[in-house]
Amino acid sequence: AMRIRPLRQKGNLLLCTLLLGNTLVNAMISILSADLTSGLAGGLIATAVIVVFGEIIPQAVCSRHGLRIGAASTCLVRPLMYLLMPITLPIARVLDLVLGR
């Protein structure tokens, strides 16, 4: 919990970073599958991959081991936060003002 606390103190920035990163990965999966297959097949493959590997499995695993996974992933999340900060920081600041921290 102590490893996660510094990231959680910037809750809206963390949320924006994770959602933007997730959206970027999902878009890249869709683009890659569309390039490798026809449009309809690529769309179906991308949807299946995103739902199974990007939604169902992570939700199932993190619901049981969220704290451990969160602590282990701080070494990946922190650089991602800095990389995406030009986009996510303004959004997070607006969220802080509107919703509070």
- pLDDT tens digits, 20-43: 999 999 999 888 888 888 778 888
CA–CA distance, 65 with 17 (Å, rounded to integer): 21
- pLDDT tens digits, 48-88: 999 999 889 988 988 888 888 888 888 899 999 999 999 99
Domain chopping of the chain, boundaries: 5-99
Instruction: State pTM to two decimals.
Output: 0.80
- Token digits for 55? 């939604």
* Sign of the C-alpha dihedral computed for residues 91, 99, 55 and 37 taken in this order: negative
